[in-house]
Structures are given as structure tokens and as C-alpha cells.
Copies of this chain bind each other. A is one copy, B any other.
């Protein structure tokens, strides 16, 4: 039997993506004052989460096309906080004209492939039986400081940029190419190479990975932020040739659009993109 080791992860914000269809026609037909008040209340609610803070952060985006026009991205300390945000938003007057079309539930996650691999190899060399009490204790002790070091990146803020992209992904478990049947050292190399492709776009594309195993239908969610949309296209195109992707990557729907700063929401609901 050949069961493989999972990499340790460092986890941060509970994340909720909400994609809404907007009932433009009813909003445009509404008396201006009435609509402005609805948008004002909505904006005020979100404004509490405008700046990154211990209570989390929220940001708005316009998604192009038919899959849902308004997107809200919520970072919260816990999933209970996400649920509370969901309910509170649904009580606002504007919610009557926003129909939830899609969503994604995940946790900001940093994969610790390299460190996990080294700790596991060290334990193996010492001959400690995997998952024995001794193994588990030493494994956790050795990884704890590394996790601590990643805390800030796990509780990151939402990057500011003109364009935005979201997609969920899986690692394939195909009959030939099965990510979960590969040994951790091989996967660690794949991930390192994959990370190097990403680093070529440093300063151009900011990326937040969140884990969603057990939380949503795919294994990870990817959020990309860039001022130039061609950088997003190029990054994903180049990554598609990485072994980690060409052999093992599977993708869901892609959502793409523009940032919607809160101060632009009144304009947005009047038909003007910032």
C-alpha cells in the first residue's frame, strides 16, 4: 500500500465569495432618491469592512457577463462571522434586487510542502512510526513555528488592483495522473516549480489561495488581482504548462471583472463603471 502524506497548511481568514445577479431594470425604474437610499445603506454596511481589520474585510467587484454581475469578497475571522454577514446582507433593502447566483466557501491557505517534507524525512530517518504519538508530537512541534511565521500572510488584506479573477480548482485523481498517489517529495518539486512561474509575475499579479476541501465543491479557490488583465491571462497561460497543472490541474468556472471601490457604488447602480 502506498498512502501518501498530506502537506501541512497554514490557515487564515474564513472566506466567502458571493456572486449576485442584479435586477438592473427595477433599480433604474425606481425613484432616484429611493434607489440612492438603498445603495447608501448597502455601502454603509460594507464600509465597516472597507479597511483590513481584526474583524475582517470585504470588497466589491463587477463581474463581466451573465454569471452574476456584482461580487462580494468577505474575509472574516470565523465561518460564523461569514454566516452573520450573509444574513445581515440579506436583510438590507438592496438585497431584494440582488439574486445570489453562485458562491464559494474557503479558508486562506498556505501550503507548506517544503517544510512538511523536511520534517517527515527527518522523522523517517529517525525511524519514528508515522502517526504514532511520538511522530505526531514531533511533527507538530517542528511545524508550529513555521505556521506562526506564515500567520500574517494567512490574515492578509485584499489587494487593490483594477482587475480581478476568481476560479476554483482541483488536483486530478486520474487513472494515470493521480496527484494524491504521488509521494510528497515529488509533489513538493511540482509545487516549487509552479511557485516559480508565479514569481515571474511578482508586482504584476497578486494571488490569494484558499483551501476549500470540506467547505465547497472544489479543493482550492484562486483569487488574482492585477492592474493589467493581460498579466492575468499570461500568468495562467504559462502556469498551464507547468507539470503541476498540465498533468494534475482541473478547473471550474472563471469569473473575471473590475474592482468596485465602495465610493463608486452609487455610480455603479446608476450604470457607471468607475
A224 to B272, CA, bound (A): 32
Interface residue? A113 (CB, 8 A): no
A67 surroundings in chain B (CB, below 8 A): 103
A69 surroundings in chain B (CB, below 8 A): 86
User: Does A91 contact B24, Cβ atoms closer than 8 Å?
Assistant: yes
Contact of A131 among B100, B200, B211, B229 (CB under 8 A): B200
User: Does A214 contact B107, Cβ atoms closer than 8 Å?
Assistant: no
* Complex copy number for this chain: 5
Nearest chain B residue, comparing its CB with the CB of A167: B214
Which residues of chain A (28-59) have a CB below 8 Å from chain B? 28
User: Does A214 contact B235, Cβ atoms closer than 8 Å?
Assistant: yes
A16 to B: closest C-beta gap in Å? 6
A181 to B: closest C-beta gap in Å? 5
A232 to B11, CA, bound (A): 13
Q: Give the B-binding residues of A (Cβ under 8 A).
A: 1-6, 9, 11, 14, 16, 18-19, 24-25, 28, 62, 64-67, 69, 78-80, 82-84, 86-88, 90-91, 95-96, 100-105, 107, 131, 136, 162-163, 165, 167, 173-178, 180-181, 189-190, 193, 196, 200, 211-217, 224, 229-230, 232-238, 240-243, 245-247, 249, 253-254, 256-258, 268, 271-273
20 additional contacts (CB under 8 A) given A2-B243, A165-B214: A4-B246, A6-B240, A6-B241, A19-B66, A24-B87, A25-B95, A66-B102, A66-B103, A80-B162, A87-B273, A107-B233, A131-B200, A173-B240, A175-B176, A180-B241, A181-B246, A214-B229, A214-B232, A214-B236, A215-B233
